[in-house]
Each structure stands twice: as structure tokens, then as C-alpha cells.
């Protein structure tokens, strides 16, 4: 079985907006469908996040041949993650309840991608960094970071360049 990856929204944004603009890196974009269709699963919530560019949504529709994952099928795991955030002294309530960025908002992908990876043993790819102050703060942090939550649940989490290395991408 081929190893599967879930890419955080920031990876897609890096692809189309920050590092590999389609007009300048056509060889990159000609390779993306190969690894997306073979090794990447895409939850609908990632594509639906409010900052995904319309061009990119259209590109995914035309190039991703697999079905988008319905994150709602992973509600039990998602609730387990929210429960951890709520009960852990490492996090302030706002990490879960903030109206715009709290993980309890069903439109925030972070908790969902961890839930999907947790059940299916997928690897998450994100360029979020672990919070170096997480275990030293006495009051808890207001921003949960994917790598820290992955560590707690034993979910494998790597960065973009480690992903490129793992899939052998060379353009």
C-alpha cells in the first residue's frame, strides 16, 4: 500500500501563492497531479477554507481524480482532539472557542486533518512549527499548532521539504 499524506492548507497556499507560481514553475505544476493522485488525500474542509484561491480550487477540480474526503465521517476523532484541547492546561479556551480561528469551528481544517490522519495512519504535511514555549507557559497558549497536537496523538507530521524528499519529487 502506498503511504498517504494529508497536506495542510498552508502547503497548498505555498504552492500557488508563495513559491511555485504556475507562470514561473510549469514543471512543478506538471508533476503535482502525479503525487496528488497517487499519495495525497484531500479533505473537503481544506479545499473549502476561506483563503483558498478560486484559481486553485478550479485547478484541483480539474486535476485531482480522487474523491474529496468528507471530514464529517471523522467526527469521533475530531471530538477527541477538541476534548484534549479543552482539558489540557497547555491551551486556553480560546484555542477551541475563538469565533474565527478556534478549532471547534467546523470550517477550520486543522482538527479535521489530524482526525483523518489519526484513524487512517496518514502523515500530515504542514509548515506550522511546534510551539517552543508550549510546555513552559503557566497560563496556556491560545493557538494550537498541528505538530504539537500530532505529537500528543502519535500522528506523523512532517514539513514540505521532508514531504518532497519522501515522495522523491525533483523538478
User: What is the pLDDT at residue 61?
Assistant: 92
* Residue 50: predicted pLDDT: 64
Q: Model-level pTM?
A: 0.95
Please give the Cα distance from 65 to 143 (Å, whole number): 34
DSSP letters spanning 32-53: HHHHHHHHEE-BHHHHHSTTS-
Is residue 151 located within the same domain as residue 77? yes
16, 22 in Cβ contact below 8 A?
Answer: yes
| pLDDT at residue number 20 | 94
Closest of 38, 116, 138 to residue 71, by C-alpha: 116
Q: Could you tell me if 16 and 31 lie in one domain?
A: yes
Q: Over its length of 171 residues, how does the chain's per-residue pLDDT go in tens digits?
A: 679 999 999 999 999 999 999 999 999 999 999 999 999 999 999 998 866 788 999 999 999 999 999 999 999 999 999 999 999 999 999 999 999 999 999 999 999 999 999 999 999 999 999 998 887 777 789 999 999 999 999 999 999 999 999 999 988
Integer Cα distance of 5 and 41 in angstroms: 6
pLDDT at 52: 73
Asked if 77 and 62 sit in the same domain, the reply is no
Cα–Cα distance measured from residue 144 to residue 2, given in angstroms and rounded to the nearest whole number:
30
Domain that holds residue 78: 71-120+128-155
The answer to whether 85 and 142 have CB atoms below 8 angstroms apart is no
Same domain, 100 and 50: no
- How many domains, in total, are found in the chain? 2
Amino acid at each position: 500500500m502506498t503511504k498517504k499524506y494529508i497536506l495542510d492548507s498552508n502547503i497548498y497556499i505555498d504552492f500557488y501563492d508563495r513559491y511555485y507560481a504556475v507562470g514561473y514553475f510549469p514543471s512543478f505544476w506538471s508533476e503535482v497531479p502525479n503525487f496528488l493522485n497517487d499519495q495525497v488525500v484531500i479533505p473537503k474542509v481544506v479545499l473549502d477554507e476561506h483563503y483558498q484561491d478560486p484559481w486553485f480550487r478550479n485547478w484541483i477540480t480539474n486535476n485531482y481524480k480522487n474523491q474529496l474526503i468528507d471530514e464529517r465521517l471523522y467526527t469521533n476523532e475530531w471530538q477527541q482532539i477538541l476534548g484534549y484541547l479543552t482539558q489540557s492546561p497547555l491551551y486556553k479556551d480560546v484555542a477551541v472557542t475563538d469565533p474565527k480561528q478556534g478549532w471547534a469551528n467546523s470550517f477550520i481544517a486543522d482538527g479535521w486533518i489530524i482526525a483523518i490522519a489519526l484513524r487512517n495512519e496518514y502523515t500530515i504535511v504542514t509548515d506550522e512549527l511546534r510551539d517552543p514555549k508550549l510546555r513552559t507557559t503557566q497560563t496556556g497558549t491560545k493557538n494550537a499548532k498541528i505538530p504539537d497536537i500530532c505529537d500528543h496523538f502519535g500522528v506523523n507530521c512532517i514539513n514540505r521539504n521532508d514531504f518532497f524528499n519522501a515522495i522523491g519529487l525533483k523538478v
